Amino acid sequence: MSAHKPRVLVIDDEPQIHRFLGPALEAAGYEHVRADTATEGLREIARKAPDAVVLDLGLPDMDGKAALEKARAFYDGPILILSARDRETEKIDALDLGADDYVEKPFGVGELLARLRVAMRHRLHRVGAEPIVEAGDLRIDMIKRLVSKAGVALHLSPKEYDLLVQLVEGSGKVVTHRQLLTAVWGPAHTEDVQYLRVFIAQLRQKIEPDPSAPTLIATEPGVGYRWLG
Amino acid sequence: MSPDEPLRPDPDALLAATPRPGRGRLKVFLGMAPGVGKTYEMLRAARRRKAEGGDVVVGVVETHGRRETQSLLRGLDVMGRAPIDYRGRTLLEFDIDGAIARRPELLLVDEYAHSNVPGSRHEKRWQDVEEILGAGIDVWTTLNVQHLESLKEVVWRITGVRQRETVPDSALSRADEIELIDITPSELRQRMAEGKVYMADTARIAAERFFKPENLTALRELALRRAAQTVDDQLLGAMKRAGVQGPWAAGERILVLVGPDAVAGSLVRAGRRLSDMMMDAPWVVAHVERPNAPAPSPTASARLNDALKLADQLGGSTVVLTGDDLVTATLDYARLNNVTQIVVGKSTLPRRNPFRKSLITSLLDASQGAALHVVTEQAEAEPAAPRTPRRSLRSWPWMGHLGALGLVGLATAVAALTDRISDDANLAMFFMLGVLASGLTLGLWPALTAAAVSAFVYNFFFLDPRLTIWIGHPADVLTFAVFFVAALVTGWLTGRVRDQGRAVSRRAAAVAALLAASRRLSSAVGHAAAAQVLAEQLAAATNGAAVVLTPGEDDIVLSAAAPPLDALTSMDFAAARWAWEKGEPAGAGTGTLPNSAWTFRPLQGGKARAGVAGVEPHAVQAEEDARFVGALLDQGAVALERAEFAAQAADAQALLRSDRLRSALLNSVSHDLRTPLSTVLGSVTTLLDYGKSLDKATQRDLMLSIREEAERLNRYVGDLLDMTRLEGGALVTRRDWVDLRDVLRAAVDRVSRRLETRQIIRDFPPELTMVKADPSLLEQALVNILENAVAYSPDGSRIEVAAYEDRANVVIAIEDEGRGIPTAELERVFEKFRRMEEATDRGKGAGLGLAISKGFVEAMGGRIAAASPIHDGRGTRILISLPKEHQTPEQLL
């Protein structure tokens, strides 16, 4: 990977958060950049080009979603959202607006750093876009559109296959219901979450080693799904 | 309906045909005279119905001792009668409440035209029937044609007997079915001879006259015609409903012109008959009010009101037109409303001026297209109907004419004095002045008197030969003639100007009174105040007492009275409730509960009935007053309604506020509890996961951060608990003698660790009176204020804590050098969950601190206030003052 320490910008108005996130990030091998307001954060993104951004949705000077939109206009790197559980819809909106993942307050540092690593890895993957993905004995060949399990070809319907590809391309990142529905069924069906429930269940039947305890496709209740493979 | 319009069923006709939900059906057994067997027929039909299994009850039937009729009653369910006290005697009357409570399918109520004993709920039985129908019960009743209001006069002319008991025509039109009980006149006379027709002995002679064969024939024709007309009506109704273009005279409109004279009633009845002849053409009774005419006498305006009321009863509408010229006003209205028939009476306009065309001639000349009906009927032979309606004028114009004579005398005296130095023409000017003065001060008629007398005096005293009425010089004849005409014209003009001025100012006064009343009504705050203002204005307008009732919990309640009144009698209250429930006037002067002491009228607001207003019946008389009262009632209704809406809006607002409070609490809990928890959890996990790779200083800082946040959490939970105690009323204060300086020191100590570079300046006096307070509550209140001061002030600034006293209070002042509080926010800093943006990091609290301080201080009997800015547009000062006790511990020692 790159020679310099990955740089993580934390945008949060609570000084106490910076107080522990700074040492934690440094200790985990990142460079910590601090911003207390959305305005300052946007400036730091432009100036320091961080490898990842941690953004609190409850900022005093700007709505978190607005800040996210502005950042997405010129920044393509991973953005992690810090949110409170009672702001469910905000969180989903943020994901739809292009956030990579979210962590709910209060959170442990380990969880945050894990999510951060996944998001950054996903970015790296996408740059090199591998045509063949393997997870355990599952093998997905995106060029030939073939899925096989332990060398035996699986029969997937076109919709099931599209759904799987969407999740795999997300690679560890939460893909929201809306994103999946738009990509697979089209923009007219963004509210039809029940389609997803049915197709995800069918997909799990076919690809999961134990469909009752899925290890490849994780459910994020109320938000979406995540590829763990 | 225009011919090219597609034929749709008439919605009105459809509506009328739809039985109003729950309303019973009315069947009338109509006869030409007593004795034709209406009751007998009704009972036979009722027995048939009962035999078919119908639930038939006899409400009231007069058998008049006839055996055949009595035998028919056997086997039928006959209701008892209700006792009514009347002048010390107990009379039995139809029991309307019993009938409604019994709820039969069909109720028999004999003698539709019967007048109830005074003190009953309704004046007339047909009103009882109306209420029973309203309760959803079918009613059969009987009626003789001579009792119909519009036929009253015809019957009088046929038979010479005036009917006292009448039924409005509308009461018969409401019948769903009419059955004519018809026998020939000779048959009826035969039955009478056999004694089968009931009549009281005393009335036998009158009855003999009534039952003359020619009378009976005429009455029979009336009854047949009326029954046929009903059939016609029903046929017409059916055709309209079906949308059939009928042969009915579309577009006929009748205008009846009435004045305050004795024929007004006859004119109204004539209008109704004309309308009948024209297939129920719409008819309007109009009265033209002339602003310049003298006000009619009370009897005249009462007659006019009666005529207008009669028109309402007979199913016509009424309108009051305004205009100086009767003919123009009438014809303008007629043109605008497509009137095709105009009904006038011959004596409608008293012929004051023989040179003027009569009303009828003028109308004939000017009315285009409309047919004119002139009713030449004799005025009803009513007692004491003075021919001239201007009696009230006669009393005081006497004074006016005397005054005019005085002014002429004065002019004569002046003329006599200046006779030698001026010529005749100048002398004439003095008389002219006198006429002018009479006109301006006394009005039209005195001015004309003055003109005539002046002409005579001028001729007599000043034209040669003097002291005769002869005029010597031919030139003087001309002078005299010119003078006479000029004086008359002058008198006429000035008198009119003055009278018109009077009329205008009278109307202006009425308008001003109404405006003032409406202003007071609209400025009344709250429902009760509006009701009181309405009662006062009504009392003032009617020169009597007035009451206003408005809806309460489950019934209307007396909400205002002028002069004050504790309660209404049960009779009055029943009338008020009737007016409230039915939306119609009730009480004295109306058909419902006329024995009540008040006349109650519903207050109809824009959306719903706002209440009921009652005035004393004698109070409203002149029509002008009545209209004023009407306008007042309308405005009162609107004011009451508005007050009600305002109250509802305030309730909704309060609800919204408490809702907002709850969501503020939720937000606060979610944010203020979770943020410290995030820090604690984050710091702990950092230490756990990466503790080894962190240096000592960082580790210590993380632990400090954990402690601080845990403390912050604890404070916040404490705040919430304090607030709950305050709100729940569970706060117990233990008041003890306290030296405020001690409490202040303790509070400052408690916040000292959070001060950082801020400096506390203490300004305590060497001596301070002790006060009674709860030291722990006071300390908490002070800590909250100090924490706020720390949170909202920059590093390195100063916080000044002072204590001092005045005669009654000991005061603590805490000042910071923060940016201060905007004036608009100042009042609200003590509200819950109110926090300023941009607090410095450490202090961000839940926004409860100052609210708790206020609660605690007030619980100890003290007061708290905020002032800002205090220096150079910056800084906030919080003042707490605690009252001194009358005796301090020092004094007790």
Residue B249 has what pLDDT?
39
Helices (H), B729-803: 740-751, 775-791
What CATH number is given to the structural domain containing A164? Answer: 1.10.10.10
Mutation site, A19, A88, A90, interface B, largest B CB count within 10 A:
A19
* pLDDT > 70: percent of chain A: 94
Is B681 within 8 Å of A86 when comparing Cβ atoms?
A: no
Alpha-carbon distances, residue B86 vs B99, B205, B595 (angstroms):
22, 29, 11
Helix, strand or coil for residue B696?
Answer: helix
Residue B440 has what pLDDT?
82
Interface of B with A in 635-694 (CB under 8 A): 666, 670-671, 674-683, 685-686, 689-690, 693-694
Is A110 within 8 Å of B676 when comparing Cβ atoms?
A: no
The encoded tokens of residue B190 equal 């035969």
Residue A2 counted as domain residue: no
Chain A positions in Cβ-Cβ contact with residue B683 (cut-off 8 Å): 19-20
Residue A7 has what pLDDT?
92
Q: How far is A185 from chain B (nearest CA, A)?
A: 37
Chain A positions in Cβ-Cβ contact with residue B676 (cut-off 8 Å): 16
Contact (CB, 8 A) for B246 and B239: yes
Alpha-carbon distances, residue B558 vs B161, B455, B535, B589 (angstroms):
46, 65, 11, 21
From B701, which residue of chain A is nearest by alpha-carbon distance? A19
Residue A179 has pLDDT above 80, yes or no: yes
**Do A108 and A25 share a structural domain?**
yes
Q: Which residue segment(s) compose the domain that A149 sits in?
A: 131-227
Mutation site, A20, A109, A111, interface B, largest B CB count within 10 A:
A20
Residue A33 has pLDDT above 90, yes or no: yes
Q: How far is B677 from chain A (nearest CA, A)?
A: 6
Q: How far is A108 from chain B (nearest CA, A)?
A: 5
Nearest CB neighbour to B674, from listed A27, A60, A106: A106
Is A14 within 8 Å of B675 when comparing Cβ atoms?
A: yes
Contact (CB, 8 A) for A170 and A177: no
Residue A1 counted as domain residue: no
CATH homologous superfamily of B11-242: P-loop containing nucleotide triphosphate hydrolases (3.40.50.300)
Identify which of B340, B151, B149 has the alpha carbon closest to the alpha carbon of residue B252: B340
Domains B11-242 and B254-379 equal at CATH topology level? yes
Confidence at A32, pLDDT banded by 50, 70, 90: very high
Residue A82 has pLDDT above 70, yes or no: yes
Is B679 within 8 Å of A17 when comparing Cβ atoms?
A: yes
Please identify, among A84, A111, A127, the residue that sits at the C-terminal boundary of a domain. A127
Residue A168 has what pLDDT?
85
Residue A108 counted as domain residue: yes
Residue A81 has pLDDT above 50, yes or no: yes
From A87, which residue of chain B is nearest by alpha-carbon distance? B670
Residue A93 counted as domain residue: yes
The encoded tokens of residue B169 equal 């025509």
Helices (H) and strands (E) in chain A, counts: 8, 12
Q: Which CATH class is domain B731-892?
A: alpha beta
**Do A181 and A113 share a structural domain?**
no
Residue A35 has what pLDDT?
93
Chain B positions in Cβ-Cβ contact with residue A84 (cut-off 8 Å): 670-671, 674
Residue found by looking up tokens 């003789």 in the block? B144
Ranges of chain B with pLDDT below 50: 1-6, 244-250, 348-354, 379-395, 620, 837-843
Alpha-carbon distance A3 to A7, whole Å?
12
How many CB pairs below 8 Å do chains A and B form together? 76
Question: Does this complex have an ipTM over 0.90?
Answer: no
The encoded tokens of residue B324 equal 């100086």
Contact (CB, 8 A) for B780 and B856: yes
Q: How far is B671 from chain A (nearest CA, A)?
A: 8
**Do A148 and A76 share a structural domain?**
no
Please identify, among A99, A127, A155, the residue that sits at the C-terminal boundary of a domain. A127
Is B677 within 8 Å of A109 when comparing Cβ atoms?
A: no
Mutation site, B665, B672, B685, interface A, largest A CB count within 10 A:
B685
**Do A104 and A141 share a structural domain?**
no
- Residue spans per domain, chain B: 11-242, 254-379, 396-501, 526-653, 731-892
Is cis: bond before B563, omega within 30 of 0?
Answer: yes
Query: Is B705 at the interface with chain A, CB within 8 A?
Result: yes
Give the architecture-level CATH label for domain B254-379: 3-Layer(aba) Sandwich (3.40)
**Do A217 and A123 share a structural domain?**
no
Residue A55 has what pLDDT?
92
Report pLDDT digits (tens) over B576-595: 988 888 888 888 877 788 88
Is B702 within 8 Å of A19 when comparing Cβ atoms?
A: yes
Residue B478 has what pLDDT?
83
- Chain A interface residues facing chain B, Cβ-Cβ under 8 Å? 14-17, 19-21, 23-24, 27-28, 58, 60, 84, 86, 105-110
Please identify, among A127, A153, A176, the residue that sits at the C-terminal boundary of a domain. A127
Report pLDDT digits (tens) over A135-150: 888 888 888 888 998 8
Alpha-carbon distances, residue B218 vs B113, B157, B620 (angstroms):
20, 11, 42
Is A14 within 8 Å of B685 when comparing Cβ atoms?
A: no
Residue A40 has pLDDT above 90, yes or no: yes
Mutation site, A5, A16, A57, interface B, largest B CB count within 10 A:
A16
Residue A166 has pLDDT above 70, yes or no: yes
Angle at B373 between CA B367 and CA B376, to 5 degrees: 130
Kindly provide the b/e burial profile for residues B425-447, where b requires at least 16 CB atoms within 10 angstroms of the residue's own CB: eebbebbbbbbbbbbebbbbbbb
Is A17 within 8 Å of B682 when comparing Cβ atoms?
A: yes
**Do A77 and A11 share a structural domain?**
yes
Q: Which CATH class is domain B526-653?
A: alpha beta
Least trusted range by pLDDT, from A29-43, A203-217, B834-848? B834-848
**Do A198 and A165 share a structural domain?**
yes
Residue B834 has what pLDDT?
62
Angle at B411 between CA B405 and CA B416, to 5 degrees: 125
Alpha-carbon distance A99 to A79, whole Å?
5
Question: Which backbone phi and psi does B718 adopt, to 5 degrees?
Answer: -60, -45
Residue found by looking up tokens 């209406």 in the block? B38
Residue A127 has what pLDDT?
46
